[in-house]
Amino acid sequence: MDLASQVVAGLGLVMGSGGLWAFLAARAKAPADLTTAQAAFQTALSHQAEGFIAALQADRNALTVEVAQLRHRVEELENENLQCRGETAQMRQHIESLQEHLRRHGIDIPKGARPRGLTVLEEGRATVITLDAPAKSPRRRKQKVVT
């Protein structure tokens, strides 16, 4: 072998080993880049999840407060309803006693007639009660059977 062939073979060997070195270095660097990319992805995902959880917790807290307010309002309305029912029962009892009083004085008031209006005049102490016809029980409708 002459000198020129040996130089060409040496240069080929050096360049080939340089290429092999570059390939092995890139291959060794790829897992490190992949690990860095995975860590960046996990960090971004964790940050997004924390933001989402914080938003959900804020919404939950707001809804908890709203539910508590609504429950309090429902309780107030139930108490008001009970009070109104008590007042209505007292008014019905008062109306029935007035109807009985009128019957005792010879004014015919049919049983079951519902008052439509009540007017009290202070000066003359006159009470005017307008009555509806006696209440009728509503008819039950037959339900259609769908097959």
Q: pLDDT tens digits for 116-145? A: 665 555 556 655 555 555 555 556 666 666
Spans of all domains in the chain: 11-133
3 state SS of 97: helix
Query: How many of the other CB atoms lie within 10 Å of CB of 107?
Result: 10
Q: Measured between alpha carbons, how far is 103 from 94 in angstroms, rounded to an integer?
A: 14
pLDDT at 13: 64
Give pLDDT tens digits for 19-68: 766 776 766 666 667 677 788 888 888 888 888 899 999 999 999 999 99
Say if residues 144 and 135 touch (Cβ distance below 8 Å).
Answer: no
Element (H, E) at 7: helix 3-104
Q: Measured between alpha carbons, how far is 7 from 91 in angstroms, rounded to an integer?
A: 123
Q: What is the pTM of this model?
A: 0.44
Instruction: Extract the tokens encoding 121.
Output: 């005049």
Residue 87 has pLDDT above 60, yes or no: yes
3 state SS of 122: coil
pLDDT at 54: 92
Place of tokens 């007042």: 87
* Residue 34 Cα to chain centre, angstroms: 44
pLDDT at 91: 87
